[in-house]
């Protein structure tokens, strides 16, 4: 997933925030695994790895030499439409996908809350830790619902 690769790559650019970025990467990787299961059930294909890597490099390059605060604002602009999209997907999803899509929706909401907290100079990591804890509870069986 783009988020996983991007956040891991950004650890070098923002070393003082690398712990937060590693947690964001972990969140993206965990949620990406859930999404793959939903796509597989509907026989839809995920983005090819090459495309994900190209998108990641493009997003990284688009940041230029942005400082942490500018990065947070730029990422928030990217995340808001995803929050809206995942809310719609959840609300319109069949019952068997609702649990996985709830986690997808909640992860994106948590990412937005993280960004807003960090922009306001507060620690946003708690938002991410809550969703990661929920994912830990869901992952052992590999299935939701």
**Does this model's pTM top 0.75?**
yes
Query: Mean pLDDT lowest for which of 89-93, 115-119, 134-138?
Result: 134-138
Q: How far apart are CA 87 and CA 3, in angstroms?
A: 18
- Residue-wise pLDDT tens digits, 92-127: 888 888 888 888 889 999 999 999 999 999 999 998
pLDDT value at position 140?
43
Q: How far apart are CA 145 and CA 37, in angstroms?
A: 13
Buried/exposed 82-110: b ≥16 CB within 10 Å, e otherwise? bbeebeeebeebeeebebbbbbbbbbbbb
Residue with tokens 């990217």: 78
Mean pLDDT of 79-86: 88
Q: How far apart are CA 48 and CA 53, in angstroms?
A: 9
Q: How far apart are CA 115 and CA 69, in angstroms?
A: 10
Residue with tokens 């964001």: 24
- Residue-wise pLDDT tens digits, 3-58: 888 899 899 999 999 999 999 999 988 887 777 777 666 555 555 667 767 777 78
Q: Where are the domains of the chain?
A: 2-141
């Amino acid at each position: 997933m783009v988020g996983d690769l991007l956040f891991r790559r950004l650890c070098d650019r923002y070393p003082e925030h690398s712990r937060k970025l590693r947690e964001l990467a972990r969140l993206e990787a965990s949620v990406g695994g859930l999404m793959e299961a939903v796509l597989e059930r509907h026989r839809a294909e995920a983005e090819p790895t090459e495309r994900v890597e190209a998108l990641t490099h493009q997003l990284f390059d688009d940041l230029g030499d942005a400082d942490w605060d500018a990065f947070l604002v730029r990422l928030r602009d990217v995340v808001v439409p995803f929050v809206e999209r995942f809310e719609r997907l959840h609300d319109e999803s069949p019952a068997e996908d609702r649990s996985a899509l709830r986690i997808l929706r909640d992860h994106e909401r948590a990412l937005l809350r993280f960004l807003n907290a960090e922009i306001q100079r507060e620690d946003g990591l708690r938002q991410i830790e809550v969703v990661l804890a929920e994912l830990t509870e869901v992952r052992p069986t590999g299935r939701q619902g």
